[in-house]
Structure 1
Amino acid sequence: MAAAGAAPQQAAARPASTLTLLTLAIGFVMAMVDLTAVNTALSDIARDLSVPVSGLVWVVDGYTLTFAALLLAGGALGDRMGARSAYIAGLGVFLFGSVLCAVAPGGAALTAARLLQGAGAALFLPNSLSLLTHTFEDDKVRARMVGTWSAMVGASSAVGPLAGGILVHAFGWRSVFWVNVPLGLLGMALAYRLIPAVQPQPRPLSLLSHGLGVLALAGLSFVLIEGPVLGWTSAPLLAGAAATVVFAAVLVRRERAIAHPILPRALLGNGSFAAANATGFLINLAVFGQLFLLSLYIQARGADALHTGYTLLPMMAAFTLGNFSSGRISARVGLRLPLVAGLSAGAAMGALLLALACWMPAMPLALMLAVIVLMNVAVGVAIPAMTATVMQVAGKAYSNSAAAALNANRQIGALVGVALMGTVIHALPLWSARLPVAFGVAALAFAAAAMLVHRHVHLPR
């Protein structure tokens, strides 16, 4: 009788588990779609708000700036105030920022609202996975739910440009932000109703260290984005560079001295952990720099937002294909081989794109996209292996801090990559010169990442 009664209970639990999973995925899906979908709206934003290229870089990087700078603080705040409260609060901040983006009268107001969006994402993103871990206590159920959650996040990144293109084509660029309102409200209501509260855990929170990190990253962003506009030797640029160095130096000195640094000292002194995080930085530098530049290139060829989304879809879907293949490959041969091989293949495809762009200045778009798809599949295989490598090197004791650090470094890489491509666009007036440089940067980034893993990442046996 007990066994017979268990089956209906399990069947009844499945819809509740699915709804809980969707509730916790809403925030992350919104964040990832927003991160990629805005690229398809860049030309419309530039035309409607009279935003120059440097302003478009700020629109993309403003979100990434606060997202990256506050990720570690978001996890710590979740521990202090409870993960559910932090998740709902983060959704509220993101929702408010989305409304301000949708009604922005100019480029500066849009950038400020994007900064607010990034702060909200930094608060709800780390607490989403934490709530998933707390909600599903059975190890097998949790593993299945985390896998499904990861697949949903990966799929949202892939469809982001297409979703953005459809929205912009049908309703204008502001709809990319308005669509977050019903989704965010739904996520907040479901989280309050379905997700059990998690007991807050006292944890030291160094606001000064996090503030120094924000200021250093903001200074770096200013230098990289405004350098081509104001001049690399202009007084504001030199002052910004000096301030960035000072803030970064004070942060490093403080972290070495205080009792509770942002990252545990055991991780700071781990060479494999540092190399794996640098690999994440380089991967996102290449991937998001490429996405930004190619979005503008496709639109410069006359494509509207919808056709831009269609064109970018196979490029982004290639990452998802590589992600899904990575687990099976790693299970057979370990983490190191798919990581090094995937990055090396990505570097080779980048070098091939560089050669083709130099040899054929008017390279057919179909040929370019075909090679990029191959490159992205290879890099897509490497990305989950990189994440698993970081977690394995860090160990269970430091898994939360390691995951937050990796996510932050990857977002900083995206910020630098977009800013770097903005510099390329400013410095080189012709696309026939811009594309080879962009592909060369991607090839070098992937090659450097492969070399870092090969020489400095040593997995525990």
Structure 2
Amino acid sequence: MPRQRLALALIVSCQLLLGIDATIVNVALPRISAALHFTPAGLAWVLNAYTIAFAGLLMLGGRLGDVLGRRRVFVAGVLVFTAASLAAALARDPGQLLAARAVQGLGAALASPSTLALIANTFAEGPQRNRALGISSAVISGGASLGLVLGGVVTAAVSWRWVFLVNVPIGAAIALLARRRLPETPRHAGRFDVPGALAVTAGMLGIVYALIRAATAGWTDARVVAGLAGGLAALAAFVLVERRAAAPVVPLGLFRDRARASGYAALLLVGPSMIGPFFFLTTYLQQVRGLGPVATGLAFLPMSLGLFTAARLVPRLLGRFGPRRVIGSALAGLIAAQMLLSLVGPGSPLVAAIAPLALVGLGGGLSFVPIYTLILSRVEGSSAGAASGVLQTTQWLGSSFGLAVLVAAAGPAGMGRAFVAAAILAAAALVLMITALGAANAKTHPDGRLRAGGRECPDSPGHPDEVEQPSALRGR
């Protein structure tokens, strides 16, 4: 039992490290911009360089763990992430920082897919594993919130460079102890779909680059046109590669089910509503309202409280009202929150910027579980790992594409237009999900579980611990 506890502590410490890193940089963005002379549009790449590399290589990282062993790939990922964090802390110009952030994303893509599989390999199926998965889920949820506060404290007390430097001793300790204390998983013969992973990553880079540059250069700029054309060409090549690959990084058959494809699309559309406040309000609160980094981090606590409340309420609400009503209300609340934020200006009271964040957290948190359920409940058991892996990838892509779209929408006019754009995308997600849930003929049990195609689906909000279980058992 002590060995299992230490193993779980190592695994969740890595998850916490990656979760914190996704948000700890946000509060430091104004000081990073001032120190390294980023343009407003270029500053978005401090976030996107990490998320694009993470999302684009996440599925490949999972496949590497299958073939080479989860512990080996986990340790390698932590070491890459740690070395890149040191490079980011020492960066002297924007190019160096963005390169380091991309390598951080690579390290996270190697380490993250192995965490759930290592839990499944360490804990016996049943209460022990469910408890470990529950702790893991809580840590992932809390990491983003802790990152905002920690980023504010570190930036104010020392320097923005320490938001990266704090990863170094923690990452080194995790890698050292993991080699000694975590069990290795069996290796499986297989191939790596490297061309597919590179093609999808290149496609995302091209499109995101074009969207961000369009915010300042306009849509007719030669580089914007080239970025869009190159990105779309790379994505087309990706589809061709995946159709012919023996072991595709993204099985295209997952998208043949219209309801599941709608769920993936909804994740992309909801992403901007969640990432927008992090990017725009951290700058607004510090540069326009004069708040310090610590106060800015604390200002996001209503959003964290909303997410936590949603996680506690969603199984009960789904059981009582069904998925269509829950997601309809949740997305309507998310749309309202974005419209309220679009009205915030230099003369607005501070509460006008902070209060809607609670609605963002509540609406986003209540939206995700019905979307997850729609995706996972309509997949065969043999494809559960792949479906879950694509789900994680899509969620990260929603952040990357979403931020690029919002930066392009904001343009010179500022963040008001960006939040209006986020509301429009959330409205599209609302229409898509209501239609998809109806088309799927999903019936709701009294306890909130779904039936799809006439069979009971275990991966449903009525069994919250089991939603992650298929991906854990398959190592995704």
* TM-score normalised per structure 2: 0.88
Q: Is the 8 A contact 1:72 1:404 kept in 2?
A: yes
* 1:323 has 2:311 as partner: yes
Greater share of helix: 1
* 1:307 has 2:295 as partner: yes
- Which range moves more in the overlay, 445-454 or 223-232? 223-232
* Matches of 2:238 and 2:125, distance apart in 1: 40
* 1:109 has 2:96 as partner: yes
Q: 1:396 aligns with which of 361, 366, 381?
A: 381
Note the 1:50-199 alignment, pairs <5 A.
50-199=37-186
Amino acid at match of 1:98: S
* Matches of 2:5 and 2:318, distance apart in 1: 28
- CA distance 1:353–1:221, shift in 2 (3 Å): closer
* 1:437 has 2:417 as partner: yes
Deviations 1:308-349 (A, max 9, x none): 111122223322221232233335555444333312222233
- CA distance 1:321–1:68, shift in 2 (3 Å): same
SS of residue in 1 equivalent to 2:347? coil
Q: Is the 8 A contact 2:270 2:398 kept in 1?
A: yes
Amino acid at match of 1:347: I
Amino acid at match of 2:34: R
Deviations 1:265-289 (A, max 9, x none): 4312111111111111122222112
Amino acid at match of 1:446: A
- Which range moves more in the overlay, 329-338 or 138-147? 329-338
Amino acid at match of 2:358: V
Deviations 1:191-247 (A, max 9, x none): 222211001112332211111111111111221122233442222222222211211
> Structure 1 vs Structure 2: percent identity of aligned residues?
30
* 1:368 has 2:356 as partner: no
Count of aligned pairs: 440
SS of residue in 2 equivalent to 1:394? coil
Q: Once the 2 structures are TM-superposed, how far is the Cα of residue 442 of structure 1 from its aligned partner?
A: 2.5
2:222 maps to 235
Structure 2 unmatched ranges of 5 or more: 443-451, 455-476
- CA distance 1:182–1:123, shift in 2 (3 Å): same
2:327 maps to 339
* Matches of 1:52 and 1:270, distance apart in 2: 42
2:192 maps to 205
Q: 1:455 aligns with which of 431, 435, 438?
A: 435
Structure 1 unmatched ranges of 5 or more: 1-12, 429-433
2:467 maps to none
* 1:46 has 2:26 as partner: no
Deviations 1:400-440 (A, max 9, x none): 11111111111111112222333344421xxxxx3432332
* Matches of 1:199 and 1:134, distance apart in 2: 10
Note the 1:7-22 alignment, pairs <5 A.
13=1, 15-22=2-9
Amino acid at match of 1:364: P
- CA distance 1:440–1:32, shift in 2 (3 Å): same
Amino acid at match of 2:197: H
Deviations 1:91-128 (A, max 9, x none): 01100110000100111100000000001001111111
* Matches of 1:66 and 1:375, distance apart in 2: 26
Q: Is the 8 A contact 1:335 1:388 kept in 2?
A: no
Q: 2:394 aligns with which of 360, 385, 409?
A: 409
Q: Is the 8 A contact 1:159 1:313 kept in 2?
A: no
- Which range moves more in the overlay, 81-90 or 224-233? 224-233
* Matches of 1:25 and 1:379, distance apart in 2: 23
Q: Once the 2 structures are TM-superposed, how far is the Cα of residue 78 of structure 1 from its aligned partner?
A: 0.8
Q: Is the 8 A contact 1:159 1:316 kept in 2?
A: no
